[in-house]
């Protein structure tokens, strides 16, 4: 049975997509079967996985509105090593269309029943807002992975996110739990990084991954080649960090 993880934070630019793509590639390199689902109309996880979002004939949009199954839409990404359910700008319209459909919050969850046996991990790349797409992700997931940049406003946004997770958990998905807090674009120099980092540990305890993702230019470059960093420059600090995260992730699951 797949473990379904929503990678979410309503703040943009914190490393959600980078984490989805690179954690997926690292888990695949460790022989896990992974599906990445792009839930952001910007389609960055799609592009970063090597799929041309302007050439899509079907996308996650078709799955959400119910005209296609997951298997009819997903693509295997080579050399990334995982399957991707791609997105493009069409998804912008999904919000409005979903409102008029039955079970609007749980359509993704229902669509994933079909493929739960096919994968070990399903990673959901959420848009930077708490909209109906994010609600679908949180209703479908068992775990929430929250990338956080250790800066002053990071904690402010987190309480709104935790409230949303709590509300959705009570209404739709009682088993939902925090999978982990991931410190991204980590720069160990400023003392603010340590302050925020300490506050995260105080509040979330061992839910904070001990792996931190450093700021690394290769991580920012690799999406323009449609490659996870592991397949772009496997010796880079970014690649090493995401491999370490995948290792920690698998160990946590096994524990």
Distance CA 120, CA 138 (A): 18
Residue 48 CB contacts under 8 Å (≥ 6 apart), including other chains: 17, 18, 21, 222, 223, 226, 227, 228
Write out the residues near Mg ion by the rule CB under 5 A: 16-17, 44
Q: Minimum distance between the CB of residue 43 and ligand ADP, rounded to whole angstroms? A: 11
What are the beta bridge partners of residue 38?
Answer: 125
Local structure of 24: helix, strand or coil: helix
Inter-helix orientation angle 16-29/237-254, to 10°: 70
User: 39 φ, ψ to 5°?
Assistant: -110, 15
CA distance 197 to 69: 41
Q: Which of 213, 239, 243, 246 binds ligand ADP (CB under 6 A)?
A: 213
CB of residue 113 vs Mg ion: minimum separation in angstroms?
A: 26
12 binds, among ligand ADP, Mg ion, none (CB under 5 to 8 A by kind): ligand ADP
216: contact with ligand ADP by CB under 6 A: yes
Q: Is 93 in the site for ligand ADP (CB under 6 A)?
A: no
How many whole angstroms from its chain centre is CA 172? 20
To Mg ion, the closest distance from the beta carbon of 172 in angstroms equals 23
Q: Which of 12, 4, 88, 6 is nearest to 51 (CA)?
A: 88
How many residues bind ligand ADP, per CB under 6 A?
A: 18
- By CB under 6 A, name the one of 8, 10, 18, 49 that touches ligand ADP: 18
Site string for ligand ADP, 25-44 (x = CB under 6 A): -------------------x
List of residues contacting ligand ADP (CB under 6 A):
12-18, 44, 128, 184-185, 213, 215-216, 219-220, 223, 238
């Amino acid at each position: 049975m797949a473990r379904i993880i929503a990678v979410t934070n309503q703040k943009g630019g914190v490393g959600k997509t980078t984490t989805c793509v690179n954690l997926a590639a690292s888990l695949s390199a460790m022989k896990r079967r992974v599906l990445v689902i792009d839930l952001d109309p910007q389609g960055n996880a799609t592009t970063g996985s090597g799929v041309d979002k302007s050439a899509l004939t079907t996308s996650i949009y078709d799955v959400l509105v119910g005209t296609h199954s997951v298997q009819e839409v997903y693509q295997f990404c080579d050399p990334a090593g995982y399957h991707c359910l791609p997105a493009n700008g069409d998804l912008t319209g999904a919000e409005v269309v979903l409102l008029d459909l039955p079970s609007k919050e749980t359509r993704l969850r229902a669509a994933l029943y079909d493929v739960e046996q096919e994968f070990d991990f399903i990673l959901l790349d959420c848009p930077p807002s708490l909209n109906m797409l994010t609600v679908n992700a949180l209703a479908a997931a068992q775990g929430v992975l929250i990338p956080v940049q250790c800066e002053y406003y990071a904690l402010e946004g987190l309480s709104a996110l935790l409230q949303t997770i709590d509300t959705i958990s009570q209404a739709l998905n009682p088993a939902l739990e925090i999978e982990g807090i991931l410190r991204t674009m980590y720069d160990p120099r400023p003392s603010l990084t340590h302050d925020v980092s300490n506050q995260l540990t105080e509040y979330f305890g061992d839910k904070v991954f001990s792996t931190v993702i450093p700021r690394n230019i290769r991580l920012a470059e690799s999406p323009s080649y449609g490659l996870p960093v592991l397949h772009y420059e496997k010796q880079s600090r970014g690649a090493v960090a995401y491999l370490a995260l995948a290792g920690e992730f698998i160990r946590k699951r096994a524990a």
